[in-house]
Amino acid sequence: MINDLNQAIADDGTMVTGEKTEAYYRFIADTGKEYYDVPFIYYRGYQAVAEDGRRLEVDKNPETSMVRVFLPKEGMEAGKMEVAVRYEGTVLQKLSYAINIAAVLAVTGASFLYFRKKRKTAQG
């Protein structure tokens, strides 16, 4: 269980302190660990990125519902790497934002044309 809001817990129970803001959590991971549980409640749309730009697998801890970040098993030298975790949203959320923006623009455009036509008929 995470007691400190700035700590991530590795698969063997060791804790590392990271930097947490509203937008992201950043910590230094030991590449010998399998995973870290970070202090965010899991929702679909979380992304974890290693310092080399590689996306890491993210899932939910089945016991605590916290975000679990899996470290790569291959292609990593023993040592440390910086990991950043943030919420980026899902494809469906991004699609719904685009639909909402298009709907607002369509209603605004239709209203503009309606009132423009109404004003011309009233004058003419």
Q: With CA atoms as reference, report the closest residue to 28 among 10, 47, 4.
A: 10
User: Is the model's pLDDT at 1 over the cut of 60?
Assistant: no
Q: Kindly state the average pLDDT of the residues 33-39.
A: 94
pLDDT given at position 23: 85
> Would you say residue 60 has pLDDT above 90?
yes
**Run of H or E including 56:** strand 55-60
**Highest mean pLDDT out of 1-15, 54-68, 73-87:** 54-68
Q: Is 120 helix (H, G, I), strand (E, B) or coil?
A: helix
Residue range 64-113, pLDDT digits in tens: 999 999 998 876 677 899 999 999 888 888 888 899 999 999 999 999 88
Q: What percent of the chain has pLDDT over 90?
A: 65
* 85-to-15, 19, 99 alpha-carbon distances in Å: 16, 10, 27
Distances from the Cα of 94 to the Cα of 63, 84, 90, 101, angstroms: 29, 21, 6, 11
Query: Please, which residues bridge with residue 29 across strands?
Result: 81
Question: To the nearest whole percent, how much of the chain has pLDDT over 70?
Answer: 94
Print burial letters for 77-93: b (CB count within 10 Å at least 16), e (below 16).
eeeebebbbbeeeeeee
